[in-house]
Amino acid sequence: MSTETVSTRPFPDQKPGTAGLRKKVVVFQQPGYLENFLQSIVDAAGNYRGATLVAGGDGRYFNDQAIQTLARIAAGNGVERLIIGRSGLLSTPAASHLIRTRRAAGGLLLTASHNPGGPDGDFGIKVNTASGGQASESMMEAVYRHTRSISRYLTAAVGPVDLDRTGESRYGPLTVEIVDPVAEYAALMERLFDFGGIRSLFAGGFTARYDAMHAVTGPYASEILHRRLGLPADWILNAVPLPDFGGGHPDPNPVDAADLMSVMTGDDPPRFGAASDGDGDRNMILGPGMVVSPGDSLAVMTAMATEIPGYRKGLAGVARSMPTSRAVDRVAAALDIPCYETPTGWRFFCNLLDDGRIDLCGEESFGTSSSHVREKDGLWAVLFWLNLIAVTGKSVPEIIQAHWRRFGRNAFSREDYFIADAGIGDDLLARLEASVSTMIGTRCDGRPIRQADVFEYEDPVDGSVSGHQGVRVVFEDDSRIVFRLSGTGTAGATLRIYLERRIEDGPLLCRPAVELNAPLSQAARSIASVGDLTGLSSPTATV
């Protein structure tokens, strides 16, 4: 089979964000657009000739066509073996696990994570390295530089690849292995968690709902939660993956997981609820009428990790992204283990995981995971909580309230302001960064400001420095506001404001976080001049 060299021209808009390249489907459908980006990945990675790569996606619209293009580019560049999830499906954590167990050179994941799908929705491609984790900032910057000067891509006339037949097939020099996307991941979960205890929980009448949001975790939930653990099949909501996610937004938060929220806040709700996102790496944990904040979830997991079979040896350390609530910091101090604060972006945890410095990590956008893979893992978090419930006999609210009584509470909420003109968002954040030196010692709405800075991270493993990672404002009472622009959208800009109030004890412990943080919300709008600069008088979303 001969390789064809195809002449091409650069596209000006292929700069990756925090988790790869995400654009509208119609952008990726432009002739040569996907080919250019894939070739740039290959060239920036330094040659995949003779290598094994893992590939798959979240089943969104254009996924099937993109995998065929990926196979042609892989063959054209001398890739020896391509491991693909059956039907092109592979959750992000399952892909990370496959990369590691198969000793692959890396992975190419076709996903836009929690972004909407369909012909008018989003598509994306993410690069994973041989560790199973996201490519570094330096590698993705090299990819971007290559996209700006690319003049050719290499392809071979393989295919069409049969994505539905499990097993190996030869396409010229390329071996394609179609694998069950769930099997190896499910086996890993059985090694980490007490499946017998969770089965007994469900057999004893424990009620639950899991919302797969018509995304990739539907087959994973059906196999693990239903077939292996005994959760009734009709308790798995939206279980069939659809190219447009059923017209929904596959983001596990109280707004977008409306089906699940209506069940958990209705009459006679189940005792447990959970959801995952488009590619299966995010999670939301609920009790009856209660959403567990991502920071509280990470803190509880850290405090109770030794109750779980896979973590009985204890934890080397923990890490959280900077905007995530500091609840886990209190737990780490009590356990006398390190707690690292990183920028947003899972890649920053990977060095810490690979170096053995941490075993649990989490970020503010409903992402939690551990050293079992190098990606965040939604279904893993669900199983962790079910295992805690099984071993303690306590409900979600009882576990959370006991944690607050022991460690105090960091009441946490997030406000999103969508700004149609991305330039306005950039200007707003630049003004904030320029003003931090004048904030310390002043008051905002009567609250003294103790600290204000622009977060900069020096990686303790490789010494790399990442600047301009968000603005932090801390008040005398240890309340905190964080400002940053989201890097996951495909249009405009989203200003994210994270609000956190520290409560040690008393009647405020169990009040709603949004209510507790209302004064901080007002202060944040004042500090950033949100209304004056954006014209927005209230958030477009509150989480």
Burial 320-343, CB ≥16 within 10 A → b, else e: bbbbbbbbbbbbbeebebebbbbb
Nearest Cα neighbor of 324 from 496, 92, 80 is 496
Kindly state the tokens that stand for 241: 């993956």
Nearest Cα neighbor of 84 from 138, 112, 75, 501 is 75
Q: Are 112 and 124 in contact (CB under 8 A)?
A: yes
- Category of 145 on φ-ψ map: left (φ > 0), alpha (ψ -120 to 50) or beta: alpha
Separation between Cα atoms, residue 431 and residue 416, nearest integer Å: 18
Q: Are 519 and 445 in contact (CB under 8 A)?
A: yes
Separation between Cα atoms, residue 203 and residue 201, nearest integer Å: 6
Active-site residue (options: 87, 96, 113, 325): 113
Kindly state the tokens that stand for 231: 């959760």
Separation between Cα atoms, residue 53 and residue 40, nearest integer Å: 16
Does the N-terminal peptide bond of residue 343 adopt cis geometry, omega within 30 degrees of 0?
Answer: no
- How is 36-68 classified by DSSP, letter by letter? HHHHHHHHHHT--TT-EEEEEE---TTHHHHHH
Separation between Cα atoms, residue 315 and residue 312, nearest integer Å: 8
Active site includes 113?
Answer: yes
Separation between Cα atoms, residue 494 and residue 365, nearest integer Å: 14
Residues labelled catalytic: 113
